[in-house]
Every structure is written in structure tokens, then in C-alpha cells.
Structure 1
């Protein structure tokens, strides 16, 4: 009963298999009351299967799922204190807004009085800033408004947990950013637990207060967004959550000297939880300093800008460094380093070794030169 006081959702050694395919592997997870959890990972990682097991649309092959301390194995979706917002909203086009939001209430038994339904629908529409839209037809509404109707329909039943299955995927970038803020605000106002499934790391980091990174049906890292980004548990997390440059190197026996492919050495400090031998150094693009001019005797690594992407407040550069490969560098235009550098220009790159992460050499890293993880 101890978990019931603290956690809204608990997975106890949960596995889900579909025949010979195991989608979720022995996961244990605790989600505190009132948390905003993002399940983040590539397609096929098991995040949607976890969401569906919380909602009751799938049952564990083994292990147990609990909500508010009560076991949910075998409990159908309509008997769980959860509601779900689907990626494509699943609104009824022949109903107006009020009828869509009221649909779930009208199915409840014993029946809820009509006046009570009307009152609760009005409250739900006010929550999502759609007061006055009750009689509007669905086809007359924008994508963002339809998304809020779907939210109101899910919230009107007063769930303990709200499940969000990539609800912003169909929106354009500007509207998606606005809805991210609205969802955060709504979750804080209501104080109920939100569980978001997404493959978009920017969406997960910006919205959630707890991020669960998954791969191959297992949890790779669970923590606050800034911890997952700044202190990735392994090379997969470093690559998937944000963009990362790799350098294949060798950590010498003293545990602090990193020998790079060009023969140079970096002192990475002694407090590293990694043994000597083949190592992957990972460094974020924004942690690299780019200075115009590539004098051979200068500090850092001499390279040549091959590509430049102007992003308004920042600039991304691809820089080729002999023997080390290509680096992705992000420069903030509000600083002195933000002056534009032209492709073909010589530059020097430098970074604080304390900002770099070291991981045992693995198959996730490519042995030839430098690679940088892609934002997905």
C-alpha cells in the first residue's frame, strides 16, 4: 500500500510479448502522482505498448500494472481511472463540440442527469479555453481547436491519469509549440498525472518533468529532462536525446589521459566511471567553441567549415577536422562567437573536457571519424 500514497502508475517486472516478438522486456517503473511523464524512443521501442497497457488496451504477458496502488491486470479500459487522447483525436464529425465532449458521460451507468452532463461539459470546455464553442461543428474548427476538444472529452470523465498518444504529431510547428505550452499549463492547473508518448525528443524535454528513454523494449534512462540531456546514461541516450559528436579514442592506464586519433591527448580528469581502453568521447554541439582562423599552433583543433545552417538565434556549422572527422557545432548569435563564418573558412574548435561524456566503445559508435546524432 506504500506505493498507493506516492505513485499513480507502477509497472512491476512487466513483459509484453506478441508471439515470438517481445515488445516490452521486464520493465519496472514508478510514476509519482501529478507527474508529467514522457515515454521517449524510436519506433518499435515499446513506448506505445506501455501506454496501451496503462490504458487497458493491452494486457501484460507477465508482471503487473498498478494504478493508484490497485492492480489493473485484466481490468478493461472503461473500468480504469484513465482516459486517452489519440494521435488523430478520434472525434465524431457528425457531432458538434458539446456532443463530442459529452459522449463518454452519456455512456455511463447509472445514467448521469442531463443537467449534470451539461455542467461538466461546460467546465471541461472552459478548462481548455473553448467556452462558447459548444455548438461549433468539428469541421469548422482548426487543428489546435480539435485537439483541445479531444482533451476536453478526455478530461470530462475526471480521470486520475491522462494518456497522450503523440497528440501533437498532426500539427504544424508553430501550433505544436503553442499546444505544448497549453498542455503544460493544463497539467499544472489540474494536478493529474499525464503520460505522453512521443518520438520527438524536443517535445519530451520541453513538456515533461520526467523523461523515460526506451530502446528495444527496455528503459535506458529515467530522470528529469535536464539530467537525461546533461548526464546521459549511455551512448544511445546521448545520441537519441539531442545531437552529439563522437570521437573514437583510447583512455590510457592513468584513467585521465585520452589519446585521440590524430595523436593528441586530452586530460579528461580522474573521476570517470570507465576503464582504460577503447572509448567513445561524446560532446554536444553547443559545448564546442568555434573561433575563426585555423593557425596550426593555436589551441584546439584546426578545421574547415563545410556547411552552415542559419537558424535565426543560432547557427549550426559542419566542420571537417583532419583525422577526427566532421563536427556539428552550434553557435549562439547573442555571443561573440555568434558572428557568421563562411563555408570554406578555416576555424579552430575547442571544448572543456569536463563537458564531454566518455562511454565504452560500442557498436552504436561508428569507427571511422566523427558522427553526430540526429534530432528525431
Structure 2
């Protein structure tokens, strides 16, 4: 298989549970040797998609291709695809060594014992667990359990590893460290990771590419920068949790909203009219300021939240909408604001993203 060939492809994959359509005619192609984040809200179909690719569930329609062959009807154990479960799914009565060796000892290939020992030792060393081989899962930390679950998959030498919210059970510090380790391990092995998460921060940090899943459909696929800077529909902007979104009316190239009427040079097709501006592109001005870069949105200051590298300021508009302003500390100290005082929020109109229903007709 050439490096540029896809590692897997989905052709019209649909999965239903009674009257619920979890996956709705999905077409998707993933490149070999890549890290793909699959981002979506709860109930969007993320785990169903992984289970269909892995072979734990069969699609109601559509075909699944892996390394150039149709695997739709192959059982899971014959697909050569690794799976890391959200809850680790370790065997509590087995040692770390035997947990990692389980697939080799009980699989279809059944290699010689000397090869099993060698592969397990190498994999345990690669994930940083050397010295813990004789412990049981209840004797190690959550982060170490995650590494065991990953090692158990990697020891089988798959070309594709599916990770179902692998960092969800870890605390914040460990989650950040494991993000780096997962990327390093993937690059070392030249395999493809498909990493499911409900966290927009995690998805953008981890993936070479990000697929956004909503209501059983992949609505956008691109680099983290493309997803972050140019969400294709308002639902993606909403789920990224980085945009202030304003309802209004787009008509004849002008958007009418809570901040007045603003000319729009371009808009994107959408089910409703929505105006979006990123938190970090929204600026704070005193009431009565005349040097605004664009629209004027009156708002009352509520509170701030310190996030380490930035501070988020929370405001409330006259129609009781909460608006956020993100000030990155690399830009200097933030200004002092008085709780309960009125300010004006503004931004450069060319940095806004406008979505219009008239374009979707």
C-alpha cells in the first residue's frame, strides 16, 4: 500500500437502533499514518462509528474498506484493527504482562512463546511501564492503566487503532501529558489513530485532521486550524465553544442583530441566520468610546475566569445573553473591570463569520 493511499474508507455507512439513526449514510476516507480526532457532542454517533469500524456492530447499509479490502462482513478479530476502550477493560486477575500478552496468546496467529515475551516486553517499554509487569491493574494508577490498554492493542501490531475517549477518565494534568505521549507513540509506530472525544480542546490539540460528527453525519473534516478558524456551519462554531453566536436576520448583504446592522461581505449556508465572532477577537471598550473597530454591543460585566494562559471575561447583554471575551496573557496584562458596570464590546467585522439560511435554499 502506498503512503498516500487511504487506511480505511466508509461508503454510505448507516446504523440504526430501532427508530434512532445513529449513523446516517456516512462517506469518509482516512489517510494512512495519521492522527484523526473525531469530535462530536453526546449522542452524535461517535462510539457507534468506532464500533462499526472495529466490527463489534454491523452497519444496516454501506461498506467498510480497510487497507484496500472490503471488511464489512469480517468478524472483529479478523480485521487487524486495535481498539482502546474508554474504561480500559483490563482483566483484573491478570498481571500487566499477561494483560498485554492476552491477544497474542488467544488470537488466531498464536506466535511462539519467545516471540510473545519479546513483543510484550518491547511494547511495555515503549509505553513507559517497564518494572510494572508483575503488578495487577488495581495496583497501578489511572494513567498507567491507560498505557496498559494502549499496549494491549499495540502489541498486536495493528495499522489502525481506534480510541474511544481514551483520556476521559484521567485528571487534567495527566490528560495533558497523555496527549503528548499518544502522539509520540503514534509517530514512532507509523500507524493511524482514530481518537474519539467530546472535548473540542482535546480534538484540536491531538489531531492532524479533525472530523466533526453531528446527528450521525460528518459535517466538517479538515485540519485543526481549518476547523477552528472556519467552521462550516453554526453548529460546529457552537460546539467548538470559542465563538459568541448571535441570532438575527441576514438580508441583502446586511446582518441585523443585537449590535445593530452590519454589512456582510460573505456568508455560509446554514439552517438559520447566525453571526459568529471568536472570544479572542472580541474587544472591550468603555461606554461612549468613539474608536470602535466595528459594531457596538452594550453589555454589563459579570465576572472573570483565570485559565492559566488566558483570562475569560463574562458579560451579559441587554437581552440577557452571556457573551465571553478571551484575553491571552501573552498580549499583556488585562485591563481592570468593575463588576456590574456597563461596557461596549466590539470587533473587526471582517473577522466575523456569518451564516445565512437564504444560501441553503
Matched residues in 2 for 1:109 and 1:325: separation? 59
1:373 is aligned to none
Matched residues in 2 for 1:41 and 1:283: separation? 21
Matched, 1:281 2:278: no
- 8 Å CA contact 1:247–1:324 kept in 2: the answer is no
> What secondary structure, in the 3-state scheme, does the structure 1 residue paired with 2:248 have?
strand
| Distance verdict in 2 for CA 1:96–1:340, change over 3 Å | farther
Matched, 1:258 2:255: yes
- 8 Å CA contact 2:211–2:222 kept in 1: the answer is yes
TM-score (norm 2): 0.91
Matched residues in 1 for 2:42 and 2:257: separation? 34
- 8 Å CA contact 2:258–2:297 kept in 1: the answer is no
Matched residues in 2 for 1:104 and 1:294: separation? 66
- Deviation of residue 322 (structure 1)? 3.6
1:81 is aligned to 80
- 8 Å CA contact 2:269–2:357 kept in 1: the answer is no
2:300 is aligned to 304
1:343 is aligned to 339
- Deviation of residue 334 (structure 1)? 3.1
> What secondary structure, in the 3-state scheme, does the structure 2 residue paired with 1:334 have?
helix
1:240 is aligned to 239
1:135 is aligned to 134
| Distance verdict in 2 for CA 1:100–1:249, change over 3 Å | same
- Residues 206-217 of structure 1 mapped to structure 2, 5 A cutoff: 206-217=205-216
2:330 is aligned to 334
2:194 is aligned to 195
- Residues 121-200 of structure 1 mapped to structure 2, 5 A cutoff: 121-200=120-199
Matched residues in 1 for 2:51 and 2:118: separation? 30
- Deviation of residue 298 (structure 1)? 5.2
- 8 Å CA contact 1:101–1:156 kept in 2: the answer is yes
1:40 is aligned to 39
| Distance verdict in 2 for CA 1:79–1:215, change over 3 Å | same
- Deviation of residue 296 (structure 1)? 5.8
- Deviation of residue 290 (structure 1)? 1.6
- Residues 11-26 of structure 1 mapped to structure 2, 5 A cutoff: 11-26=10-25
Any gaps of 5 or more consecutive residues in structure 2?
none
1:227 is aligned to 226
> What secondary structure, in the 3-state scheme, does the structure 1 residue paired with 2:255 have?
strand
Task: Provide the aligned length of Structure 1 versus Structure 2.
Answer: 355
Q: Deviations over 1:324-355 (max 9, x none)?
A: 94321111233246233231233332211111
Q: Deviations over 1:278-312 (max 9, x none)?
A: 83111111110123x22264524343212222223
- 8 Å CA contact 2:267–2:355 kept in 1: the answer is no
Matched residues in 2 for 1:296 and 1:110: separation? 73
1:366 is aligned to none
- 8 Å CA contact 1:102–1:121 kept in 2: the answer is yes
- 8 Å CA contact 1:295–1:302 kept in 2: the answer is no
Matched residues in 2 for 1:330 and 1:344: separation? 19
Q: CA RMSD in A?
A: 2.3
Deviates more, 1:150-159 or 1:4-13: 4-13
- 8 Å CA contact 1:10–1:29 kept in 2: the answer is yes
Matched residues in 1 for 2:22 and 2:319: separation? 40
TM-score (norm 1): 0.88
- Deviation of residue 267 (structure 1)? 3.3
| Distance verdict in 2 for CA 1:174–1:4, change over 3 Å | closer
| Distance verdict in 2 for CA 1:110–1:281, change over 3 Å | closer
